[in-house]
Structure 1
Amino acid sequence: MIHRLVQKASVVALGAALAAGAAFTASFALNADAAPEAGKSTVSAVFKQMNVPVEGKFNHFSADVHFDPANAAASSAKLDVEVASFDLGSPDYNKEVAGDEWFDAGKFPHATFVSTQIKAGANGAYSVAGKLTIKGKTTDVVVPVQYHKDGANQVFDGALPIKRLAYNIGTGEWKDTSIVADDVQIKFHIVAAAH
């Protein structure tokens, strides 16, 4: 029984992290001159379960992004993520993470990210400030992104640490971080090809 609860807690925390991760990464998946390359882009989240790293991926999101590397200040990103649209290989786990104590997808079906400022750094680095909303909770975040060209493709990579409890992901007994850690590392690799 304890093992099953640990598994469920892990899956739910992962789902929460992935939703947040998708919010950050999808903001760079599209731009005015490119479309995302299916099968090449990935979004993942790493967290610790009983002090053991666990990683998983998130799939469905939509984005409206206008990104020009020559004019980052004029660029913008808006994103909508369906929080229940992830798959960890188990219908039971997927159902659990959509429940009230975790995403509460029936009441809060979407996570959103809206950029407020994009700044260029050195050597293809960018920082994207914006508002991230998950489960009705909105916070100010800054997303570090590394950009480069690969032939006709545009590639965006990055990682962002978040706290799942900041978004009320894991309520009640699941606030205990001794089983599923509060710290989550969001990783992304977005490839977009020109039309």
Structure 2
Amino acid sequence: MKIVKTAFAVAALSALSTAATAADYVVDTKNAHASINFRIKHLGFSWLAGRFDKFTGTFSYDDKNPDASKVKIEIDTASVDTNHAERDKHLRAADLLDTDKFPTATFESTSVKSSGPEKATVSGKLTLHGVTKDIVIETQRVGGGKDPWGGYRDGFTGTTTLKLADFGISRDLGPFSKEVELTLDIEGIKQ
């Protein structure tokens, strides 16, 4: 019994020390060192690309225990930008993003599973257009280290594909435009 209690105490202390080593980061959107981009097929002939210009986020990361990582992102949906004012106005309209009714989209991780050297599958809940769905983002660490200003940064890239209908966006954009590819390039400043 004494051995079991000792083993439990060691495991508990180990878990606490692992949790204590995870660092908290703020996504560096202030200096445009992060981006959320998307692309969707246009009539099956080409890709239409765009981005969200305004978003915020935080994450925690420990390179010795990446599966304990967490991430949270909030997007200002009205900041959608495809470099075409009329199209952006239409994307904000009620039959697509409906940004007046749904001004933010959020993602919050529920689990992180390492899938290779500096690669992970991040699962979480995305709320978009008033609908919350479980999604998976395949991620890779780009790098981390000291920056020229005396701080420490870590950066990641991740991709996922979303079905528009899953989020209640039912506007028919044609047979080739039912899914949108989303890429997140995130650089965080250690707090």
Tell me the TM-score normalized by structure 2: 0.73
Q: CA deviation at 1:125?
A: 0.3
Letter in 2 for 1:143: I
CA distance in 1 between partners of 2:25 and 2:78 (Å): 30
Letter in 2 for 1:168: G
Q: 2:79 aligns with which of 82, 85, 105?
A: 85
Aligned length: 161
Partner of 1:101: 95
Partner of 1:155: 155
Q: Secondary structure at the match of 2:97?
A: coil
CA distance in 1 between partners of 2:34 and 2:27 (Å): 11
Q: Return 5+ residue gaps in structure 1 as ranges.
A: 1-30
Q: 1:186 aligns with which of 182, 185, 189?
A: 182
Letter in 2 for 1:164: L
Partner of 2:19: none
Matches within 5 A, 1:105-144: 105-144=99-138
Of structures 1 and 2, the one with the larger relative CO (CA 8 A, separation 6+) is 1
Write 1 or 2 for the structure with the bigger share of strand. 2
Equivalent residues of 1:35, 1:194 under 8 A apart: no
Equivalent residues of 2:27, 2:56 under 8 A apart: no
Partner of 1:7: none
Matches within 5 A, 1:54-73: 54-73=48-67
Identity %: 25
Residue 32 of structure 2 is aligned to residue 36 of structure 1: no
Matches within 5 A, 1:11-30: none
Q: CA deviation at 1:80?
A: 1.5
Q: Secondary structure at the match of 1:84?
A: helix
Q: Secondary structure at the match of 2:102?
A: coil
Structure of greater Rg? 2
